């Protein structure tokens, strides 16, 4: 393991193995036990015997603190910890229907909305009216209630069905 891994270590100011140039270092063993202040050459030998790396973890201390560890595994865990902080960005997906939309077409759109909700996205259900359809708002209300009812097991209502001009909209969020 005692290879010079200068690529990632020097950029952060974290020195490993032969890059550590001070005479004495405070060493922490692979098991976490304090080994005390020992010469750097002895610390490197101890790391080499364990098949691990000597990594400088606190360069500003006097003497610097070094730990015997697997540097590759340490870098991997750091990268994994950094990636874990990223969370899912919620998007608002829309499904549009009309008052005269057929039963099967509504089922297809409802199944698509179910997929959106499973992927932790919000769903905006919109019933659009064209021309004289606006005279039959109760038909649009029936359609939107049908969609809400079929998604009841995976969604909860964020904003109830409201009319906005020639549209009725409702927002659903995942349970």
Q: Domain residue spans in the chain?
A: 6-82, 92-174
Tell me the C-alpha distance between 174 and 153, whole Å: 9
- Burial state string for 132-153 with b = 16 or more CB within 10 A and e = fewer than 16: ebeeeeeebeebbebbbebbee
pLDDT digits (tens, 9 = 90+) for 103-141: 999 999 999 999 999 999 999 999 999 999 999 999 999
- From residue 27, how far is each of 6, 61, 68, 108 by CA, in Å? 21, 12, 7, 64
According to CATH, what is the number of the domain 6-82? 3.10.20.80
**Which pTM value belongs to this model?**
0.54
pLDDT digits (tens, 9 = 90+) for 56-103: 988 888 888 999 999 999 889 888 888 877 677 889 999 999 999 999
Domain 92-174 fold is: Translation Initiation Factor IF3 (3.30.110)
**Which band of pLDDT confidence, cut at 50, 70 and 90, is reported for residue 4?**
very low
């Amino acid at each position: 393991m005692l290879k010079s891994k200068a690529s990632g270590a020097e950029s952060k100011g974290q020195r490993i193995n032969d890059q550590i140039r001070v005479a004495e270092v405070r060493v922490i063993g692979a098991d976490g036990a304090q080994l005390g202040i020992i010469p750097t050459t002895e610390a490197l030998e101890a790391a080499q015997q364990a098949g691990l790396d000597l990594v400088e973890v606190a360069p500003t201390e006097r003497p610097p603190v070094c730990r015997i560890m697997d540097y590759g595994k340490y870098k991997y865990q750091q990268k994994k910890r950094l990636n874990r902080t990223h969370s899912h960005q919620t998007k608002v997906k829309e499904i549009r229907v009309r008052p005269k939309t057929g039963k099967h077409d509504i089922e297809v759109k409802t199944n698509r909305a179910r997929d959106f909700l499973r992927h932790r996205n919000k769903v905006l259900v919109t019933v659009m009216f064209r021309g004289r359809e606006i005279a039959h708002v109760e038909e649009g209300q029936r359609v939107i209630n049908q969609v809400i009812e079929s998604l009841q097991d995976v969604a909860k209502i964020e904003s109830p069905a409201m009319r906005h001009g020639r549209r009725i909209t409702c927002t659903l969020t995942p349970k």
